[in-house]
Structure 1
Amino acid sequence: MNAHLEQLAPQAVWRHFRTLCDTPRPSGHEAALVAKLEAWADGLGLAHDRDDFGNLRIRKPASPGHEAAPGVILQGHLDMVAQANADHPHDFTRDPIATHVVDGWLQAEHTTLGADNGLGVAAALAVLEDNTLTHGPLEVLFTLEEESSMGGALNLAEDWLQGDILLNLDSEDRGQVYIGCAGGADVVVDAQFPTRAVEAGEALMRLSLSGLTGGHSGIDIDKGRGNANRLLVRALRWLEACGARLVDYQGGTLRNALPREAFATLAMPEEEVAAAQQRMVRLQQEWRDELAGVDDGLQLTLEPSTADGSAALGRDASRLLVNALHAAPCGVERMSTAVPGVVETSNNLGVVSLAEGRFHLCALVRSLRDSAGADLADRFAALFELIGARTRVENAYPGWTPSPESPLLARFCDLHRQRLGIEPAVKVIHAGLECGILGAKYPGLAMISFGPLIRGAHSPDERVEIDSVDEFWGMLRALIEDLASATA
């Protein structure tokens, strides 16, 4: 599959990206890809090893005469976000990603593409096999489970990496270089609510919200896009007046993706159904007006349910849960004053579920300031404690403090001007690059992050501009060769 990728330039990068597309690799299922890469490294005679978590390192000795150059670590993550349109069945643990070209962009068929971070991984592999490249000592670090928990970086072995400079290849903007990022943490809420039988005279109804754009919960959090969990709860608030009780709920699939769809089953008095359906029609139009230009495909429906629901939350429990969700922080909390135009603190109501009275929520808090992120997580705890829920914070990771005077950054900017004739934009990103975690484990590392132009990451609209991959590859090679002339 995806043979057409090898017709694109640079051929070496796209050939490796084809391997990644053909090898299923959602978070937690990277083993098959790791085995392929180890076999590939063996074929080239390259040394490789893994740490206790399973992160993979491949090493290549310096070009003759450049042994004293600073060691360079190329870093990316092997896993990808697994998102597919609801009407497109796709098993990310078994099915390859089918790709096609549209107007100069590569995208997948109704699923995420995996350009995040597949193209960074592919470029690193192409560097390792490029025997025309002059370089110092090279290490390539491929981490696991970045998209689900930052697990690979958080559990990375200490005193393992040997390099002095780390090039993170997980950015998504052409003509930009990143020198800082937000930290983050998962906020997990669980509760058990009492249920009682659906009563005679109550109808089971299915409330559905779909058609949202979705996207990356950090990069796209300030784009004004709808959050399916936030919106469906607004509908549930109105339906409380109709006597509706929650039977079940499912919204979102990943805490780091803006949820595009959410669904709830309700028990409500039969005589209220017609009025409720009419209100949902009006509410759909109101939301389309609110989200015009960003989520024009929004669909909100209330239809008879085919589920065999026999129990629903009591009215008081249903009201408390809906009210708590309605009050929960969601979206941009504060813009940065230190870095104008960048979000400082945000939260994504990523995954919400209710089944047989068991409630679960996983939100992702991000912040450039650890204290602000901790405070927002604590607000969740304070809110949901009011309804008897248990809250815990997991997978916390630090931000990456910018170093604008870095000699590495200066080298990159000089090369960018020489090769492309323009000054690169130096950025701080409101997303969780692994650099913050890696920098905490290896404090002496000089780091920057750059990559090709990717749009729609973490959604089935993910796509990469093909020409930008060639530009990215050229910059990567040029920087490695430039660093080979430096002195460690």
Structure 2
Amino acid sequence: MKQLETSNAGPVWHFFSQICAIPHPSKHEQQLSLWIQHWAREKGLAVDEDATGNLKISKPATAGMENRAGVVMQAHLDMVPQKNSDSTHDFVTDPIRPYIDGEWVTADGTTLGADNGIGMASALAILDSDDVPHGPLEVLLTIDEEAGMTGAFNLQPGWFNGKILINTDSEQNGEVYMGCAGGVDANFNLPIEREVASGQMAAMKFELRGLKGGHSGCDIHLGRGTANQLMAQLLRHIGQQHTLQVSNFSGGSLRNAIAREADCELWVFATEQDEIQVKAEAFFSQHQQLLSVKEPTMSLAVSRVSSDTVPLSQTSSQQLINLLCALPHGVVRMSDSIEGVVETSTNLGVVRTEADTVSVQCLIRSLNDTGRQQIAEQHAAIAELSGASVSFDGAYPGWEPDTNSIAMTTVRETYQALFGKLPNIMVIHAGLECGLFKAAYPDWDMVSIGPTIRFPHSPDEKVEIASVDDYWTLLKGVLAAIPAA
């Protein structure tokens, strides 16, 4: 990674390397926050932390730029903690291990944290610079964006003076975002009854691995499989001809990541194990062919295990399987007004089996509140039919595009001047914090830019080196071009 620090975007890579060295998964950002506060004070910058844990770092305008409109650069402190099943990485204590892989930077078996570590690093690089012209500058670093947008929800009005906000959380070079989806979490609880299996029954285990997963907003339109639903469909297929009792179902790890893995332990009649294994493998083979382009590395392991877990009753098992099969997953509707943009989607993210309940977490996204509410009502109806309860938490609004945005005009014109072409002006289906910021700062003029990041929220996450160079060039150009207040 050291060789990247001599490139045009060297200051960004310098700070990104330091960010990677400090564990900062969602809910555990304090160590990184303290390091940034100490660094900023050593630089003589004004630093403030609010009661939620958000940071504000202020830097005066460079000479001759004092009359420019104040800018707030914004990134989030946390990263998504996802790792391969064979990784022993502890996100709370272990540093991320980035490395160069051809034209990309990726990590060793874990998420990289380029989302939003590159944006955060670029903000620190601007604060550190002596040769980047800018007007009055404030940097906002929020907490817990990936796990609930806690920092954005609790941003206090009157804390910032800037009028233009540059969000650094976009993930495609050459695209400039002026709007995003809102969302809401759907949390299911299915009461279950356990019943000792017949003495003629024995335990088996299905392990689904190797799916790509990904960001439940940015990647939801790619048609990838979700391990939770594939496992449920497999169980339903087996259960149509064989008696089974589920003892444990576990899949996915985050409500905003497409589930890559799922495990299920179940009890079946011992005399039918061979037949069930053949049918399970045949069912999986059919879906493997169906998803061969999207999921070339998916695999199913079927084994016979020794278990002392009391399984769910046949009735509870069937209720669980039906619930997971009935819940929608993927794109629900494409936008009519913005070609190629997902309007509404839902992600069947996490399934966990407890002693007397099964919990299921879904994340519903939509560009409009009507679409979000429509899918929430569908989830509520499925819960009622299946005997589960559902609560909806953490609703956040979308960011409605402003066609008269000075920030957008500045970015567009700067991009064209620097690269000889116009950027794509986009609305992103992911949930940026910008929509929530409008509650505290309704007059903020906002825009979102960033480098090219592939497969965020998965261990395949990588950032394109050349795009970081372009992003850094654009960011410096935009700051210099901000008009007078």
In 1, are the aligned partners of 2:322 and 2:386 still within 8 Å (CA)? no
In 2, are the aligned partners of 1:168 and 1:449 still within 8 Å (CA)? yes
1:60-459 superposed matches below 5 A:
60-240=59-239, 241-309=241-309, 311-459=310-458
1:35-46 superposed matches below 5 A:
35-46=34-45
Q: Does 1:33 align with 2:27?
A: no
- AA aligned to 1:130 is S
In 1, are the aligned partners of 2:57 and 2:139 still within 8 Å (CA)? yes
- Aligned-partner SS, 2:96: coil
In 1, are the aligned partners of 2:407 and 2:445 still within 8 Å (CA)? yes
- AA aligned to 1:273 is Q
Q: Offset at 1:308? A: 3.0
Change (3 A) 1:307 1:75: farther
Q: Offset at 1:198? A: 2.2
Structure 1: give runs of 5+ residues left out of the alignment: none
Count of matched residue positions in the alignment of Structure 1 and Structure 2: 484
In 2, are the aligned partners of 1:6 and 1:18 still within 8 Å (CA)? no
What whole-Å deviation, never above 9, does each CA across 1:304-329 have from its counterpart, x for those lacking one?
Answer: 124432x1111111112211211111
What whole-Å deviation, never above 9, does each CA across 1:257-313 have from its counterpart, x for those lacking one?
Answer: 00100001101111121111101221221111111211011111221124432x111
TM-score, structure 1 as length reference: 0.97
- Name the stretch that deviates more: 122-131 or 401-410: 401-410
- Aligned-partner SS, 1:464: strand
Q: Which stretches of structure 1, 4 residues or longer, exceed 6 Å deviation after superposition?
A: none
Q: CA separation in 2, counterparts of 1:325 and 1:281?
A: 20
Q: Offset at 1:3? A: 4.8
- Aligned-partner SS, 1:258: coil
Q: Offset at 1:9? A: 4.2
Q: Offset at 1:356? A: 2.4
Cα RMSD after superposing both structures: 1.2
Q: CA separation in 2, counterparts of 1:450 and 1:326?
A: 38
- AA aligned to 1:487 is A
Q: CA separation in 2, counterparts of 1:478 and 1:312?
A: 62
What whole-Å deviation, never above 9, does each CA across 1:170-200 have from its counterpart, x for those lacking one?
Answer: 0010111000100001110113211111220
Change (3 A) 1:67 1:9: closer
Q: Offset at 1:357? A: 3.2
In 2, are the aligned partners of 1:313 and 1:357 still within 8 Å (CA)? no
In 2, are the aligned partners of 1:113 and 1:460 still within 8 Å (CA)? yes
Q: CA separation in 1, counterparts of 2:113 and 2:298?
A: 25
- AA aligned to 1:276 is I
- AA aligned to 2:76 is H
Q: CA separation in 2, counterparts of 1:150 and 1:378?
A: 23
In 2, are the aligned partners of 1:243 and 1:269 still within 8 Å (CA)? yes
In 1, are the aligned partners of 2:245 and 2:267 still within 8 Å (CA)? yes
Structure 2: give runs of 5+ residues left out of the alignment: none
TM-score, structure 2 as length reference: 0.98
Q: Offset at 1:4? A: 5.3
- Aligned-partner SS, 1:196: coil
In 1, are the aligned partners of 2:76 and 2:116 still within 8 Å (CA)? yes
Partner residue of 2:52? 53
Identity %: 42
